[in-house]
Structure 1
Amino acid sequence: MADIRYEVSEQVATLTLDRPERMNTISGPMLDELSEKLLRAGDDPAVRVIVLTGTGRAFCAGLDLNQATKGEGIGSSSAASPATIDLRKAPPTVLAALDKPVICALNGSAAGYGMDLALGCDIRVMADGAKLAAAFVKRGIVPESGGTWFLPRMLGWAKAAEIIFTGRTLLAADCVAEGLVNVVVPADQVAETARTMALEIAANAPLAVQAAKRMMRMGMDETFETHVQHVYLQLLPLFQTQDFREGMMSFLEKREARFVGR
């Protein structure tokens, strides 16, 4: 049985970490499986939005270090050497490169790698009883999968330093107040809220949505002058699409647009 379920419905691909007995901790094989399923959703023209979630009481409690304590698997001395690790195929890198929007439905708490995974998504919907635990330094490691990149950009240097250096656990109320999550809802409403948002995004022109995400990502490291040039060059091919014509006609005819992704 796969540890990550993959389902597509109404142009939304849902990837579900399905290892509740281990609080959805990520094993070595799951790293490859997650990358494969993210790429699958990214390449599927029938998918416009991706939702990442988990089963049980946790979203993801981090990497599965159970084997490492026995000298095996992730984090052990027998793990692959740095020379043989290809981070281009690692889930955080794959996730960061996806043009399609990704919503994290935090059905429960996320710690360590699970927190970084959630932060790597574009939008986060969080259960009111869930927490984000930046417990890396308490385990003798650093936020290895994006946390040291995401948190300073999301929170500013001082607040990110406070959270990372202390290994602090953030309640749902803290997360929404700091802007780390978009919305906090009761646990039984997380899946529905995330799906409603996904369907709202999926109803828009997919090429435009994906182009907007690419431009936002590029803009993180560009000057304004450089960025507006790139946006203009991205806009020109969109003017030639069927979806652009449909968007204009639906506006003039006062009806809902029917976008086809071409």
Structure 2
Amino acid sequence: MTETKRATEAAASEVLYAVEDHIATITLNAPERMNTISGPMLNDLARLLVEANQDPQVRCVILTGNGRAFCAGLDLRKTRSEDGLSEASSPTSLDLRNTPPTVMQAMDKPTICAVNGGAAGYGMDTALGCDIRIMAESAKLAAAFVKRGVVPESGGTWFLPRMIGWSKAAELIFTGRTLSARECLDWGLANEVVPDAELMGRARAVAKEIAGNAPLAVQAAKRMMRMGLNETFPDHVHHVYLQLLPLFKTQDMAEGIKAFMEKREPKFEGR
């Protein structure tokens, strides 16, 4: 498939979007300020996540950053009060239903965070919001919220206890500690750690493996995993059965069974 690229506004866009081989890559593109998130970036990121989730050609999403940082947090500088999120901004000006963490949590398409460098504050929460995290050797997760007088404002207090248990989450959040990529792997916060130069190649390899499976089934599985976080087992089994019924009628299921019987790789079309 021919690569297609589209900047959100212009060539100097702070969030880039590209689709190739059923994989959407969203790149934070403000390296001069370590990809700290401004107000317009928040809007563009949320919009592009929704676009990727709705595009039938996209089967997996990679989120990464340009430069030496993935994302150093929210852009709080007063000099960028029109574009950023200054301390004078009213919290009621943010519609939390349409912010990237909420949008990402509701996505059915699998998401991979290719953590290319430091991920602090909002950047750390955004990385945690992805389904899979592949980290470069030089990358770090910095839970520095309490050191700045705030709490993990973008999902960290929800993600961390579920990912690593209450005690480890408490240790990380209450100390505001920074973890190296290898420590993240040990703590269960990273799926893999790879040399910096191999990060995007590895992220694309995992995304391509995901994209090669039946997309409707992958998305249904993610939906069931998300629902299962808040369901009893009997309720969950019932919902899984209801999810199976429409999958039984798809061309992809028929293709999957046929490919298995013929001992060949299936060719899924997402229908």
Q: 1: CA distance between counterparts of 2:79 and 2:195?
A: 35
Q: Deviations along 1:119-140, whole A, 9 cap, x unmatched?
A: 0000000011111000000011
Residue identity in the other structure for 1:141: V
Q: Which residue of 2 aligns with 1:34?
A: 45
The answer (yes or no) to whether the contact 2:128–2:159 under 8 Å persists in 1 is yes
In 1: Cα distance, 2:71 partner to 2:102 partner: 18
Partner in structure 2 of residue 58 of structure 1: 69
Contact kept in structure 2, 1:69 and 1:76, CA below 8 Å: no
Q: Deviations over 1:192-218 (max 9, x none)?
A: 000000000000000000000000000
Tell me how far apart the structure 2 counterparts of residues 70 and 49 of structure 1 sit (CA, whole Å): 34
Amino acid at match of 1:198: A
- Give deviations 1:157-195, integer Å, cap 9, x for gaps: 111011101100011111001110100000001100000
Distance, in Å, in 1 between the alignment partners of 2:83 and 2:40 is 13
C-alpha distance in 1 between matches for 2:106 and 2:79: 29
| Alignment match, 1:196 | 205
d(CA) in 2 for partners of 1:230, 1:71: 45
In structure 2, give the amino acid aligned to 1:209.
V
Give, as a single letter, the amino acid of the residue that structure 2 aligns with 1:219. G
1:205, 1:72 → 2: CA distance? 41
Structure 1 residue 66: Cα displacement: 1.5
Secondary structure class of the residue paired with 1:184:
strand
Shift of 1:80: 3.2
Q: Would you say 1:245 and 2:270 are equivalent positions?
A: no
- Is structure 2 residue 177 aligned with structure 1 residue 158? no
Query: Do 1:68 and 1:76's aligned partners in 2 also have CA atoms closer than 8 Å?
Result: no
Please say if residues 62 and 207 of structure 2, whose CA atoms lie closer than 8 Å, have aligned partners that are also in contact.
Answer: yes
SS in 2 for 1:170: strand
Equivalent residue for 1:167? 176
User: Does structure 2 retain, via aligned residues, the 8 Å contact 1:6–1:14?
Assistant: yes
Matches for 1:96-245 after TM superposition, within 5 Å: 96-245=105-254
SS at match of 1:126: strand
Structure 2: segments with no counterpart, 5+ residues: 1-11
Q: CA deviation at 1:72?
A: 8.5
How far apart, CA to CA, are the structure 2 residues paired with 1:68 and 1:230?
50
Contact persistence 1:247–1:257 (CA under 8 A): yes
Tell me the amino acid that sits aligned with residue 131 of structure 1: K
Are residues 21 and 71 of structure 1, via their aligned partners in 2, closer, same or farther at CA, if it must alter by over 3 Å?
A: closer
Distance 1:186 1:172 in 2: 11
2:59 to 48, 54, 67: 48
SS of match in other structure, 1:8: strand
* Paired residues, number: 260
Counterparts in 2 of 1:74 and 1:205: CA distance versus 1, 3 Å: same
In 2, the alpha carbon distance for the partners of 1:184 and 1:226 equals 37
List structure 1 segments (4+ residues) > 3 angstroms apart after TM superposition: 68-73
Q: Which whole-Å CA distance do the structure 1 matches of 2:49 and 2:14 have between them?
A: 14
Aligned amino acid, residue 65 of structure 1: L
Shift of the 101–113 alpha-carbon distance from structure 1 to 2, 3 Å rule, reads same
Letter in 1 for 2:209: E
The answer on 1:87 being equivalent to 2:96 is: yes
Q: TM-score, normalised by structure 1?
A: 0.96
Matched, 1:10 2:10: no
TM-score (norm 2): 0.93
Amino acid at match of 2:37: I
